[in-house]
Chains A and B, each alone.
Chain A
Amino acid sequence: MAAVLRPAVDYPDPGSSWWSGRRLRFVLVLILLAGFYSASWHLAKVDPGRLLTGLPKMAGWAAKAWPPATDELPVLLLRTAETIAMAAIGTTAAALLALPLCIVAARNATPSMALYYPARWLLNALRGVDSFVFALLFVAAVGLGPFAGVLGIALHTWGSTAKLWAEAIENIPPGPLEAAAATGASRVKVIAYALLPDVAPSMVSVGLFWWEFNVRASTVLGVVGAGGIGQELKNSMDLLLFPRLLTIILLILITVTVIDHTSEWLRRKLE
């Protein structure tokens, strides 16, 4: 039987040379990666020694922080509510703005390719600037407080949501849309009746994801003066009020966990 398995001719074997193109490419990629990480290490000024001296300092703060301060709890709860409200208003405004934009920015739904490209540029520009940066600009324009945070969240989320929604629209099967259009129905009717019901669940899911993301993001927006619990976080750190800082961090953790679970539960119900 072995004779059958042993070929009578010597086939040219593409994997026989050690220095084949594939192996050479692999080594080249390794060298490039090594260069990239060593450069990054230096640029990021990574210094484990400083971490070792810094850690005991942090441990000292942690010791001083216990027990968490409760005297200002009502104010801190109000600030937490502010943060959730910022995220809710910002995300909702973004969703309302994203609805028309995502239709124009989806290849299979756009009324014209002349609008499609500008819409893509707009949402990429909005997405490219973080809500933190937008908030920084709006604090200068509309003053300190959560409203600047709302505007920052709204603009960044507008672009991000529109992009994900446009992708959801582009991924739906074309057949049902063709079938609806073939009855002679106008484009608006086809979009409203055949397209939106198909993408609605994934759109709501994306919206909930951004709300959840924005609650997390807005906890730090206060650092640039955009209100909410982040502002209290920064004040406490500046004044080295560690028990108060601990209370704030715990509040953020509880809020984010509750929001994450609620949003996840809602999204699972949609499927």
Chain B
Amino acid sequence: MVTTQARVAQERNGHGVVARADGLTKRYPPAVTALAGVSFAVRPGEFVAVLGPSGAGKTTLFRCLTGLTRPDSGTISIAGLDIWRSPRELGLARREIALIFQQFNLIRRLSALENVLVGRLAHVPAWRVISRSFTRADRQLALGCLDTVGLLDRARTRADELSGGQQQRVAIARALAQHAQVILADEPVASLDPESSATVLESLRSAVSAGVAVVANLHQVHLARAYADRIVALRDGRIVEDTPASRLDTRTIEQIYERNGERGAL
């Protein structure tokens, strides 16, 4: 267990922070301000849930963190790389970021194991990719990742024969195989039933136990409270709440979702 003092010291030195956003702003002219000065830092082994009503800027924040959208101002550093400094740094940073999509995005006709091996593509010479002959070490690693998400027995099953929840867990195994330091998950359980949602979020928790930082957009507050360590709430492009999940109370939740005196859906 790292003491709080040690952690603060680490943070001050810039160590122990795996992803950092500083003063991010993004405007979509003429009238939309998607982000208005967003700053936060994520430590290894931390599960951060991003909450907020539709239009709060969650998607824009994700697109900025993954290098898909360039912020108007502010900096983003992933694993110590300033992703907007040069295309080279962005390329290197991408290896340290693993993405989880709402629609899983597995290659339909390949097996679960072959899909997990996608996480190794950047680390393997091209001829091995083209001839699909991965090293024993890579295959063992991929099998280990499938074991972590509880799908070792499905290694040979084709991706399109798995259920939605299983597909998302394969996607998490793919992210683990990438050996990325950060997993960014944009609405990872939005298209899943409650039971599958639970197993998927448990798999994300196992990634967190392995030391990976997870940042996930979530719609359901109760899931964020149950699985995340920390909750960052966005509203109108600003962080309105940044708190340990255990300290999130009902009144705060209402404040996050309240709009023009009306209550948003929880």
Contact = CB atoms under 8 A, between A and B. Distances in A.
Interface of A: 175-176, 178-180, 182-186, 188-190, 192-194, 197-198, 200-201
Nearest to B175: A183
B132 A193 contact: yes
Given A184-B91, A184-B94, A186-B126, A179 B108 contact: no
Given A193-B121, A198-B108, A183 B94 contact: yes
Best-surrounded residue of A176, A194, A200, A201 (most CB of chain B within 10 A):
A176
Nearest to B108: A198
B101 A185 contact: no
Nearest to B128: A189
Interface of B: 66, 91-92, 94-95, 97-99, 101, 103-110, 118-119, 121-122, 124, 126, 129-130, 132, 171, 174, 178
A185 B121 contact: yes
A180 B109 contact: no
Contact of A197 (B101, B104, B109): B109
Determine chain A's interface SS by DSSP, over half rule.
helix
Contacts of B98: 182-183
A185 B180 CA distance: 13
Contact of A183 (B103, B118, B126): B118
B95 A179 contact: no
A188 B130 CA distance: 9
Given A188-B130, A189-B122, A201-B109, 10 more contacts: A178-B105, A179-B105, A182-B99, A183-B95, A183-B98, A185-B121, A186-B122, A193-B107, A193-B129, A197-B109
Nearest to A188: B126
Contact of A175 (B66, B91, B103, B109): B103
B121 A189 contact: yes
Given A175-B103, A179-B99, A184-B91, A190 B109 contact: no
A125 B101 CA distance: 41
Contact of B95 (A175, A176, A184, A194): A184
A192 B134 CA distance: 14
21 contacts: A175-B104, A176-B105, A179-B174, A180-B118, A182-B66, A183-B94, A183-B118, A183-B119, A183-B174, A184-B92, A184-B122, A185-B129, A186-B126, A189-B122, A192-B129, A193-B118, A193-B129, A193-B132, A194-B118, A198-B109, A201-B109
A197 B119 contact: no
Contacts of B122: 183-186, 189
Best-surrounded residue of A178, A182, A186, A198 (most CB of chain B within 10 A):
A182
B121 A183 contact: yes
B91 A189 contact: no
Nearest to B97: A182
A179 B104 CA distance: 9
A200 B118 CA distance: 18
Given A184-B95, A193-B129, A179 B118 contact: yes
Nearest to A179: B105
A176 B178 contact: no
Nearest to A185: B121
B107 to A, nearest CB: 5
A189 B105 contact: no
A268 B65 CA distance: 45
Given A183-B95, A183-B119, A189 B126 contact: yes
Contacts of B174: 179, 183
Contacts of A192: 126, 129-130
A52 B159 CA distance: 62
Contacts of B97: 182
Contacts of A190: 121
Contacts of B119: 183
Given A182-B94, A189-B121, A175 B101 contact: yes
Contacts of A189: 121-122, 124, 126, 129-130
Contacts of A186: 122, 126
* Nearest 5 CB-CB pairings of A with B: A185-B121, A175-B105, A184-B122, A179-B105, A184-B95
A188 B66 CA distance: 22
A189 B124 CA distance: 9
A185 B118 CA distance: 9
Nearest to B129: A189
A193 to B, nearest CB: 5
B102 to A, nearest CB: 9
B99 A176 contact: no
B175 to A, nearest CB: 9
Nearest to A180: B118
B36 to A, nearest CB: 27
A183 B124 CA distance: 12
Nearest to B102: A175
Contacts of A194: 107, 118
A1 B106 CA distance: 57
A200 B132 CA distance: 15
Best-surrounded residue of A179, A180, A201 (most CB of chain B within 10 A):
A179
